[in-house]
Amino acid sequence: MGSFSIAIHGGAGTILKEDMTPGLETAYIQALEDALKAGYSILELSGTAVDAVTAATVSLENNILFNAGRGSVFTKKGLHEMDASIMNGKTFGAGAVAGVKNIVNPILLAKEVMLNSDHVFLCGEGAMEFALKRGLNLAGDDYFFSQFRYDQWKVMRDDDGYALDHSQQNVEELMKDKKFGTVGAVACDTYGNIAAATSTGGMTNKKYGRIGDSPIIGAGTYANNETCAISCTGHGEPFIKAVAAYDVSCRMQYKSLNLQDAMNEVVHDKLIKLEAEGGMIGIDTNNNISMQFNSAGMYRAMKKSTGEHYTAIYK
């Protein structure tokens, strides 16, 4: 059996130890470990990278701590609009959904789009119609209700501003504080195939059906067995402009950079020039993993069959 590995993230941004209680820090670490275990256990049984990143992302979506799935933030209208995408590095198969509501696990819907439709990207009512056809689990608005997220939204709902994720209690502070609540995973399986998945609830108080980079193949998610698998987290608009995930692959393919150096150029040079804060996780078919960010912190974890195991929050 070949070696295998997985890496996950639960978002990046202004994540400071002094703002974290011991109990909350423990809860985040446990949530990351649970998601890591969900994906790693599939790889241990010679499961595919696609199934591993799906399982890890589902675990993060199910945890109310993260801005994805159950813990998604509120839009301007007090609703939840979720985005997700997944890509198979072996086949270039990809699936994505945007602006979906009441879907328990948006990443499962993205996977259904990849495997059981003739399309790559579905949104809104059409995505919901497809979800019903495929028998995806739905839940009422109460399932997605978090008092913490609701209190965040109440502070902002009468203001034209938005926030990516936050904890302070007034609008001025909310706009200063930045946490990017996207979740995601990348994996390499025993067959040497790689995959990536990303899911998010977007921005608090977002308007006009705004969509960030997370569901966009090449911007927030990308996988190619010849280069790498990438899942991003950050301020979506600059990541879209940078075509961030695909650009890492391009630098590996056309400049012959390794994963670490390619990600370093994108995260610490290109994105910074675009005033983009955030990060990404990446993997290649040799089980090299890189987790890089230009913000104060990123919820992250990785585990390899060779014994390496790492979980962290701060820089």
3-state secondary structure 48-88: CHHHHHHHHHHHHHHCCCCCCHHHCCCCCCCCCCEEEEEEE
pLDDT at 179 (0 to 100) = 63
| C-alpha distance from residue 198 to each of 54, 223, 291 (Å) | 9, 12, 15
Determine the Cα–Cα distance for residues 18 and 133; give it in Å rounded to an integer: 47
Identify the CATH assignment for 5-314 out of 3.40.640.10, 3.60.20.30, 1.10.1200.10, 3.30.379.10: 3.60.20.30
The per-residue pLDDT for range 217-252, each reduced to its tens digit, is 999 999 999 999 999 999 889 999 999 999 999 999
The per-residue pLDDT for range 173-192, each reduced to its tens digit, is 444 445 667 999 999 999 99
Catalytic choice (14, 182, 200, 227): 182
Query: Count of CB atoms within 10 A of residue 29's CB?
Result: 15
The answer to whether 254 and 219 are in contact (CB under 8 A) is no
Helix (H, G, I), strand (E, B) or coil at 283: strand
pLDDT at 117 (0 to 100) = 97
What is the signed CA dihedral for 114, 57, 154, 17, rounded to 10 degrees?
A: -150
pLDDT-wise least confident of 13-17, 24-28, 77-81, 310-314:
77-81
Determine the Cα–Cα distance for residues 87 and 223; give it in Å rounded to an integer: 6
- Residues linked to residue 204 through DSSP beta bridges, in sequence order: 163
Which of the two residues, 18 and 180, has the higher pLDDT score?
18
pLDDT at 2 over 80: yes
Determine the Cα–Cα distance for residues 17 and 23; give it in Å rounded to an integer: 12
> Of the segments 155-159, 173-177, 294-298, which one has the largest average pLDDT value?
294-298
Stated pTM of the model: 0.92
Proportion of the chain in helix, strand, coil states, percent, rounded to 5 = 35, 25, 35
Mean pLDDT of 279-298: 97
- Catalytic annotation present for 200: no
Name the band, by pLDDT with cuts 50, 70 and 90, for residue 171.
very low
Q: Which residues contact 277 (CB under 8 A, 6 or more apart)?
A: 12, 13, 178, 180, 234, 235, 271, 294, 295
Determine the Cα–Cα distance for residues 286 and 276; give it in Å rounded to an integer: 29
pLDDT at 253 (0 to 100) = 98
pLDDT at 33 (0 to 100) = 98
Residue 298 has phi, psi (to 5 degrees) of -155, 125
pLDDT at 308 over 70: yes
pLDDT at 168 over 50: no
pLDDT at 13 (0 to 100) = 86
